[in-house]
Amino acid sequence: MAEPRFPHAGESFIVNYPGITAKNTYSSDGATVRYEIIEGAYEGASAEVTFEWTAVGDDVFLISWQEADGATVVHLDHFRAGQSDTFFKTAKLDFIRLRGTLEAVG
């Protein structure tokens, strides 16, 4: 049986955390996400990576990926409420937890 397609495939979101703003664009097939850090610490970092997701509520998803440098990212995104929590480990092994807003963009 085929895996279901990510419900937000083909959509882009601005995620605004204290000190970091990113644009996350999910591919139309739901297999990859392109992240671009557009403000703050890590500004200019971008890549397209495969991701995994699990629905944990009504339009709430646990989303995770690993970056080429070994950084690991986990989001708990509540798309309808416009809220994102992220937990990530940088390549230098810093562990960061942030809560911010999530907004769909065209």
CA 56 – CA 47 distance, rounded (Å): 26
Considering the domain boundaries, does residue 85 fall inside one? yes
Considering the domain boundaries, does residue 16 fall inside one? yes
Domain count within the chain: 1
Considering the domain boundaries, does residue 89 fall inside one? yes
CA 40 – CA 66 distance, rounded (Å): 21
Considering the domain boundaries, does residue 7 fall inside one? no
| pLDDT tens digit sequence for 22-75 | 999 999 999 999 999 999 988 999 999 999 999 999 999 999 999 999 999 999
Residue-number span of the structural domain to which 91 is assigned: 12-105
pTM: 0.91
CATH number at residue 40: 2.40.128.20
Considering the domain boundaries, does residue 5 fall inside one? no
Considering the domain boundaries, does residue 23 fall inside one? yes
